[in-house]
Structure formats: C-alpha cells, structure tokens
Structure 1
Amino acid sequence: MTADESLQLHYPTIFADFPTLAAAQSTRYGGVSQPPYDSLNLGLHTEDDREAVLENRKRFFAACGFRPDQTAGSHQVHGAEVLKVDAAGYFTGYDALITDQTGILLTVTVADCTPILLYDPVRRAMAAVHAGWKGTVSRIVVRALDAMREHYGTEPADCRAYIGTCIDHCDFEVDADVADHFTDTHKHWDEAKGKFLVNLKQTNRDHLQQAGLPGQQIECSPYSTFSRHRDFFSHRFEKGKTGRMLAAIGLRS
C-alpha cells in the first residue's frame, strides 16, 4: 500500500435515499503514511508523522464533501458520554457525537472497535458512535439515541443505522473478565481456542432494535478489521502499532 493508491472508502447503502447526507468509513488505502501506518492513517494520537496524518484527513474529508474546519471529533476514552455538537471542533472525553446542524461532519476513530452511524431523516439529526466493548456494554448507541430524542425529538423508528467494520465475533477472543459482561446470546466458548468469542456487531444491533429501530433499517458491515487487516487497521492484529480509520456522517451545505 503506497501513497499513489486511490482513496477507497466504504459508503453505507442504508443512507442511499438521502443525497445530501455524507456517510463513510475509511480503509487503509489512498494516503501518504509510511509503514506501519500505510497508508491512510487518520489517527491524530498515533506515532505517525503528523503532517502525513493531516494530509490523509484532508483527503478523507474532501471525499465526504467537507473541509477540515467543518469537522467534529473527540479524543475518545472508551466511555459512554455523548456530546451535542453545535459547531465544528475537537473535543475530549466523548465517545458519541450528535448534531442536527448542516455543514458539520461528525467523526469517530476506530481500529477494531465498532463505529455506528445514525441518521434521523425526519428531524435531520445524526450521530457518530464509537463502541468498544466497554461502550457496547454501557449501551452507548442507545444513549446516543436518547440524546437525539431529548435534543431533537428523534423517534428511533424513524432512524437508519450503519454498524461499521470492526473486529468480528470469530476474531474477538476474550477471557471471562470481558465475556462476563455479555449475555449468552452475544458470546460463546471456543474449546479449541480456550477463549470466549464475543459478537460486538450483534450486541449493538440488538441494542438498536430493542430501542425501536426496525431491523430492515439497520445495515451491518460484513468485514472484520482483524481478518481483513490488509484492508483495515487492526489494533489487535498489529499489536497496537498501526493506524486508525474514521467513520463519519454529516449533512452537506
């Protein structure tokens, strides 16, 4: 993967009926970063060359139809706090962002954790959610929906959701200290591996449906960051020495 490869993004089809809505998740392809961050590393808090990261982010934002100064993101803490965003900027301590403002691109950073994008076409409100295993257990995606209801009047039944590429259940091997936080529906014991396997995608999907989203209004990425590490950054596979992807959503002006 080199700097001359074209930018490759994943565009959720669940939002295809809304032409002014930008929604995408990045891959490894199309940036200028050198190994082991090759090539489209978008993570501000990595040891990659900062100028390369800023160039990569500029390319990604442009592909979404936004400038860097029209974006909102947060230094995530694997928590469950939700921030109502009224202006572009970079914040700290939040793992979910919501807005109903046109011209702001909400972003979350991932490299195995689950990105979730939400859109309410009735109220024209949206959310970008970072759900690691701790955020998933804390039902952060439901907290984001609750915040959208509180601030914008969102009804979950009106929403569309995209559960993006993350580490899949066949790759997410954990011990009991993590598995004990999940129900039997969302984990199983693998005797050969001597580990529990936890399904983050299905857990978040079930949380969305329990909150009132119809199943046909939820799209789930079929890919795993771990098994497809040549296409996506995987913190676990690459033992922490890797880049980061962005998932983003926003209404273009």
Structure 2
Amino acid sequence: MIKHSDLYLKPDIFKHIPSLVAGVSTRHGGKSQAPYYSLNLGVHTDDQTEIIQENISLLCQSLGIIPQQLARSFQTHQDLIWECHQPDYVSGYDAIISTQVNIFPTVGIADCCPVLLVDPVRKITAAIHAGWKGSVLGIVPKTAQVLLSKYQSQAKDILAYIGPCISVQHFEVGDEVAAQFPENSKQKLSDKWHVDLKKHHVLQLVELGISHIEISPWCTVEHNEHFFSHRKEQGLTGRMLAFAGFQS
C-alpha cells in the first residue's frame, strides 16, 4: 500500500540491512506543480530548476543523506557502466556501481525498469536504468557481471530489486522491438507484441546464479497516481529516482 505521504518505497529485501539506503521514490511529497506534480526529481525536465533541487533535498532529507552524496548520470539508453569513486553528475551511463560507503548510485525513471543490486557482504551497490534498448544490450547482466568478476561478489550474496516500471499489459511494442527480445520475455496480447521487462531481468539474473530477487508489483502506467509514466502522460511528466548505497 502506498500512502500519499510516502516519498519513497523501501524494498522488503533490503529492510534487514540498517546501514543500507535503497529504494525508489514515488511522485508524492514534492513541490512541483502539474504536470510534474509533485516530487519531480528529473533535472532534464522542463520543471523549474530550483523546485527540482528542492525536491531532491526533500527526498535526501527523508533518507538521512545529502544531495552531494548522489552519483547520477544523464542517461542515454546504452549499456555503459560507471564505476564511481566519488559522487558527481556525469553523462552517458545507464548503470552506476559504488564500492564505497556514503556514495549513492542513483538512476532516473518514468516507465523504464530500475534494477538495484546490493552485495551486503562487500558493501557494493549498483543502480541500473533499463529501458528496452538497455535491456536488449544486456545492461543488467553486464552490471551484475562486474560485481561477480571484478569485485568478487558471490551470486548467493547479491540481493536484487526490480522496481516499478511499465508492466507487460501496457508495454505494447512494434514487431522490430519484439524481435530483439527472447520468446520468454514477450507475449502476444490482442495480436500485438507486449514485452515483460521485469521478467526479462529476472531471467537474466537467475542465469548468473542470482536468486535473491524482489519484483515490485507496481506498474508506472496503471498506478500513475503514485508514479510518473512517460507513456501514460505522453512525455510531459517528471522522474522518480532509484538509489542504493551504504552509510558509514
């Protein structure tokens, strides 16, 4: 159940880790006016810059962190991964990994699928923005593979959260997009192809041996009163943030 006072959702899979700050924001509790009502965190939207910054501060305050600890990127729907060693706002990355405490990888979403990976043993976190292009390019397994290969995370230790995004019922795509997804990640509904982003990422993670996975039941289109939806609101909408990092 989401209340209109909830600035963010904390996944159940992370709730037993007190030093972890991880979750996905809602559209509630901010200062933005329509059509960005109300917790718009998208710095590249046409909302007022000072209001967006105020909203980011409100979210961070509720999380017990400060905006200067966020590691963010202008996202380009590719498969580039930023292994960040200091908080910043950069460009060109759709996945961000942190191996240090007090740095919080953060991605913006409004229908695309956010995936959070957490290794509580090695204190490593990753935030991934996976639209259909990034999903086809394998950004989720590629990011997980960096944790497994470069940072020696064990698949059994990794906790994964697949957050609110457009659901299979609402994600109708053309034949050329559907052709790029495996059969088990798409289905025909009323003679049109529909892609299941959540299922696609679950299958990719399971293939790597990652089995501790929580899948959000929320659809950004269907539950538009709680989340921004690029498709439902025809591009004129705000952005949520998905984030994960350890506090010292």
Q: TM-score, normalised by structure 2?
A: 0.96
1:7 deviates by: 4.2
**CA–CA distance in structure 2, aligned partners of residues 166 and 51 of structure 1:** 27
1:36-74 Cα offsets, whole Å, 9 max, x none, are 000000000000001110000111112222101111000
| Alignment match, 1:23 | 22
Partner amino acid for 1:221?
S
1:196 to 193, 214, 217: 193
| Alignment match, 1:207 | 204
Partner amino acid for 1:52?
I
Match runs of 1:1-253 below 5 Å = 6-191=5-190, 194-214=191-211, 217-253=212-248
**Greater Cα offset, 16-25 or 160-169:** 16-25
1:74-126 Cα offsets, whole Å, 9 max, x none, are 00000011110100101100000001100111100000000010111121111
**CA–CA distance in structure 1, aligned partners of residues 118 and 26 of structure 2:** 22
**CA–CA distance in structure 2, aligned partners of residues 208 and 226 of structure 1:** 25
**CA–CA distance in structure 1, aligned partners of residues 105 and 22 of structure 2:** 9
**CA–CA distance in structure 1, aligned partners of residues 185 and 152 of structure 2:** 31
**CA RMSD, aligned part only?**
1.1
- SS of the residue corresponding to residue 162 of structure 1 reads strand
- SS of the residue corresponding to residue 142 of structure 1 reads helix
- Runs (4+) of structure 1 moved beyond 6 Å? none
Partner amino acid for 1:196?
W
The alignment covers a number of residue pairs equal to 245
**CA–CA distance in structure 2, aligned partners of residues 75 and 10 of structure 1:** 23
- SS of the residue corresponding to residue 250 of structure 1 reads strand
Unaligned runs of 5+ in 1: none
- SS of the residue corresponding to residue 73 of structure 2 reads strand
Aligned residues of 2:221 and 2:231 also touching (Cα < 8 A): yes
**CA–CA distance in structure 2, aligned partners of residues 220 and 202 of structure 1:** 9
**CA–CA distance in structure 1, aligned partners of residues 14 and 90 of structure 2:** 27
1:195 deviates by: 1.7
1:27 deviates by: 0.7
Q: How many percent identity over aligned positions?
A: 43
